[in-house]
Amino acid sequence: MKNKAYIIAASAISAQEPFSRMEDFAALPAEGVFVPCKDPDFKQYINPMAGRRMSGILKRSIAVSKHALSECVIACPDAIITGTGNGCVSDTEAFLSKMVEDGESMLNPSKFICSTPNTIGSQIAISLGCKGFNSTHVNDRFAMEGALQDCLFLLQKGSVKNVLLCTADQMTEGLYRMLNVEGLWKGIPVSEGACAFVLSSSPEGAFAVVEDMVQTRSNPEWELDRMLSSNGLNRDDIDLTITPEDYKKYCGEFLSASAFGLLCCCQTLKNNGAGRILLSGESSRGYSYILLSGICTN
């Protein structure tokens, strides 16, 4: 990676208290039960009349984005990039249920419009008045990684100075039952959440740096060593490795949960001021590694 991307804000709405810090995190139940998000008072971030027509995932995405932007005192980002594994599930279910009930006739298109994954990014943009670059990555368990890579490319191109990265996924009773039948939970607590990060091309106000990242479907060990070597590093230079087991006990299982892992990396570096952290991810679809460092690392 030629140019580094600096993280100047990070925020999350999860099964923990809204916008809480790592030192206040509490482990979730170990069983494969559904633990819902603990939502903030949305009236602080969304007009109540507009919020009445929004699903939970949209309200969380807007609220967490505004909270992150407030931390770095940016009213409107230059670009918005979102990542989601399943998108707006509740609106999709509502539209499909109505289709079955009404026999595919006289359908109100609003639920279908709201069910598309890029609704998240568009609603954030409308709420912020942002008319800049806007894209959405829907990539199962690697939606956050794809969106982050897009942020890095955009910043390296030099067309923007800062980017808002938002990831979000929700869990409904119907989706939980369907996936539970398939045995996907395996004793892991199930939840939902939304995370937001503000990345900048400038180190001013930053507390973490994205040094590099890689995604692969094979040869993960070789790809990791190649990434480190390209940055003049080896595995001994990594101070801490964070895996899904480390953060999912706090946020639960959902498709974009790796964003919560990124939040944990950011808060650790913010508290320590230096060091290098490797955030690793693994699923049946491949592997990912994100290399971060504290702003004081030489």
Say if residue 211's pLDDT is above 90: yes
Residue 3 binned pLDDT confidence (cut-offs 50, 70, 90) = low
Tokens of residue 232, six digits: 């003049």
CA pair distance 15, 27, nearest whole angstrom? 10
Distance of CA 149 to the CA centre of its chain: 12
For residues 187-215, give the mean pLDDT: 93
What's the pLDDT tens digit per position in 223-244? 999 999 999 999 999 999 999 9
CB 258 within 8 A of CB 145: yes
Q: 72-115, pLDDT tens digit by residue?
A: 999 999 999 999 988 888 877 777 777 777 777 767 777 677 77
Residue of 218, 277, 217 whose CA lies nearest to 247? 277
Average pLDDT over residues 13-31: 92
- The pLDDT assigned to 267 comes to 95
Share of the chain above pLDDT 90, in %: 68
pLDDT digits (tens, 9 = 90+) for 257-292: 999 999 999 999 999 888 999 999 988 778 999 999
> What is the DSSP pairing of strand 162-169 with strand 79-84?
parallel
What one-character-per-residue DSSP string does the chain give? --S-EEEEEEEEESSSSTT--GGG--PPPSSS-B-------GGGTS-HHHHTTS-HHHHHHHHHHHHHHHHTT-SS-SEEEEEESS-SHHHHHHHHHHHHHTTT-S--THHHHHHSTTHHHHHHHHHHT--SEEEEEE-GGGHHHHHHHHHHHHHHHTS-SEEEEEEEE---HHHHHHHHHTT--TT--B--EEEEEEEESS-TT-SEEEEEEEEESS-HHHHHHHHHHHTT--GGG--EEE-HHHHHHHH-B-TTTHHHHHHHHHHHHHHHS--EEEEEEEETTEEEEEEEEETT--
Query: How confident is the model at residue 286, as a pLDDT?
Result: 87
In the predicted structure, residue 45 carries a pLDDT above the cut 80: yes
Of the candidates 1, 50, 57, which has an alpha carbon nearest to the alpha carbon of residue 254?
57
- Give residue 218's pLDDT band: very low, low, confident or very high (50, 70, 90): confident
Within 10 Å of residue 64's Cβ, how many Cβ atoms?
A: 28
Output the pLDDT for position 67.
Answer: 98
Q: Is the pLDDT of residue 296 over 70?
A: no
Looking at per-residue pLDDT, the higher value among 128 and 92 belongs to 128
- Please give the average per-residue pLDDT across 56-60, as a whole number: 94
Sorting pLDDT into bands at 50, 70 and 90, what band is 19? Answer: very high
The label of the residue with tokens 């996936």 reads 179
In terms of pLDDT, which residue wins out, 163 or 296?
163
Q: What is the pLDDT of residue 136?
A: 95
Does residue 165 surpass a pLDDT of 90?
yes
Domains and CATH numbers, the chain: 5-200 (3.40.47.10), 208-294 (3.40.47.10)
Query: What pLDDT was estimated at residue 1?
Result: 47
